[in-house]
Amino acid sequence: MKLNPIKLDGVWNEGYALDYFTTKSEYKGEDIFGYPEFDVTYSEIGKALNELKYHKDYLKAVEIADEVAGYITDEWSLLDKIDGIIAVPPSKPRIIQPLFQLVKLVGEKVNKPISLDFFSKLTPEEIKNLPIEKKLDLFKNSIRKNRDLTRKGSVLLIDDLYSTGTTLKSLCALLKDDMNVENIYILVVAKSSIDK
């Protein structure tokens, strides 16, 4: 799979997205119900993520995990710098969480412990379409840190999609309150093609 890594600057030590989610999105008009329709072209990993997350093609988790693990190990050389991997809490409740499947596989492939419940959402309210100021206010009371590290170490946060970085900034703020957290790294499968 061809990747186009994108450096993500933020309150973390270092972070990357493996590629943009889409490479082209052109408005085609509206369907018969008045909903907008788009002609969308995905990056290779964006297409795999779209199929995993929105079309329940759970086999894509293996494909994406291979790319994530390969990037962590071969391109980024991050393995010796991290002690564990934390999954970003999902924004929507689902019976099967695609990101959790992905993080489990990555943890196995790079032989690092993972936590799927380090953080949890207090409400299932969808906040992605809110203005950034409202997102920040809502986040102060919407994410709970469920545990602390039991000893000094550095962590890798893995998320599937990056838009504004609001979620990751909030999680990093909570992690920095933990005296055992040394460094925080971020890896996102795909970045929204709109720079925000």
Query: Could you identify the residue written with the tokens 């379409």?
Result: 129
The two tokens of residue 1 are: 């799979």
* Mean pLDDT on 108-128: 81
Residue 9 has pLDDT above 90, yes or no: yes
| Average pLDDT score, the chain | 89
Residue 130 has pLDDT above 90, yes or no: no
Residue closest to 67 by CA, chosen among 138, 21, 5, 152: 5
For the chain, give the number of residues. Answer: 196
Helix H or strand E encompassing 36: strand 36-42
Q: Which residue has the higher pLDDT, 28 or 135?
A: 28
**Residues forming beta bridges with residue 157, ordered by sequence position:** 86, 186
- What pTM, to 2 d.p., does this model score? 0.87
Distance CA(39)–CA(25), nearest Å, equals 6
